[in-house]
Structures are given as C-alpha cells and as structure tokens.
Amino acid sequence: MNENLKPPTREQLIDVRRQMATVQYGKELLEKKRDALLRTLEEDRRNFKKLESFFREQMRHISFIYALIRMYEGQSVLQFIKPEREHTQVDVERHTLMGCRYSQFKPLKEQVFSLSGLAYDPAMASLYVDDLLNEMKKIEEKVWLFINLKAKLSALEKELSKTMLKINTLQYILIPTLHKEESRIRDILSERERQERYAVKKLSKKKKLQGFSYFPE
C-alpha cells in the first residue's frame, strides 16, 4: 500500500517536527560558515587589491626604465640581462578553512635573485639596467604571495557559492515543504479529533436517551 494513502499519525507529526528542527539547525550552521567565509574573503580581497596596486605601480616603473634602456642601450642589452635559471620546483601544501580546501605553493628551494647568473658586465652598462633589475627583484618577492592569495580566493569563492546554494535550498525549498507537511498532518489530526469528539458526544447522548427509556415515569 502506498505510504501517502495511509492516514497520518501523531508519530508522523513528531517526526516532521524533528526533521524541521534538524534542517533549521543545519541551516544555522551553514549561515555561520557563510559568515566566516565572507569575513575571510573580505580581508583577502582587501590584501589582494593592495597587491594588485603594488604590481601596477611596479609595472609603471619597469615600463619607464625599460623604455630608457631601449633608448640609450639598445635591444641587445636586454638579451644579456636574462637570468640563466632552471625551472622552479614547487611544493604544494593543502589547507582547510571551514570545510573549504585550497592549495598553497612555495618553491622547494629558496629563490634568491642574484646578478651572478646574468650574462652581462655591470661595469659596462648604465645605471638604468641596475634600476630595472632592482624593480624586477621587488616583483619577484611578491609573486608567491600573489599566486597563493589568488588560489585561496578562487577556492573560497567557489565554496561560498556552494554554501549559498545549500542555504537557499533549505530556506526556500526544504523548510517550506516541511512546514506544509506539518500543517497538512496537523489539520487532518485536528479534524479527526473533532469528528471523534462529535461521535463520542453523540454516542453519549444516545446512551443517555436509552437510559431514560428503561425507567419511564
């Protein structure tokens, strides 16, 4: 027999209310997670914005110095200041924040910016070349911070999107459905109790009338 065709009972009403309490508690936990993610995202976005401003400022300096080198030294000098460095080996660390997993990266060996790996003689070049290398060194020191912050922001934004989807599903679909089911069962039980009270009252009245018929005046 189909369960939906069975008359509801008080046990079913209690079970629905228990489900409502569980779902509401889960929704509150997800809202706390959402708030924590938003606070972290707000702080990281603020730091990322500062980092972007730093990179834009450094790129303006590098572009200006690069133009001066092209003007006074020529294109050939730029070929000599390319660093002769092997590919960087990267170590990956896994982190978890409020159920959100994200990766952070760092070089296996400390990367030190040195002029010894450059195929040019500093004494034979202008000061503009040194200025360019110094500006590039400033950017290199911030590259890993930029990469890790970008990776963390991407993971947190995805986790926040999934959390908001779960909250909306509970708030606008599951909780209203449980409320409707509770109301339906409660109305059926109330109507059943009203009918039972009416039947008992009618039976009691009938018995009373039968009792009077046994003892006529």
Q: Best-predicted range by mean pLDDT among 54-63, 135-144, 151-160?
A: 151-160
Please report the pLDDT score of residue 20 as a whole number: 95
CATH of the domain at 21: 1.10.287.3240
Report pLDDT for 202: 77
Q: How many domains does the chain have?
A: 1
- Residue 43 resides in a domain: yes
Q: What are phi and psi of 102, to 5 degrees?
A: -145, 160
Biggest CA–CA distance in the chain, Å, is 139
Average pLDDT over residues 33-52: 94
Q: What is the DSSP letter of 100?
A: E
Q: Is 95 left (phi over 0), alpha (psi -120 to 50) or beta?
A: beta
5 domain-assigned: no
pLDDT band at 101 (very low <50, low <70, confident <90, very high): very high
The range of the structural domain enclosing residue 69 comes to 15-165
Burial category of 151 from C-beta neighbours within 10 Å (exposed 0-12, middle 13-18, buried 19 and up) = middle
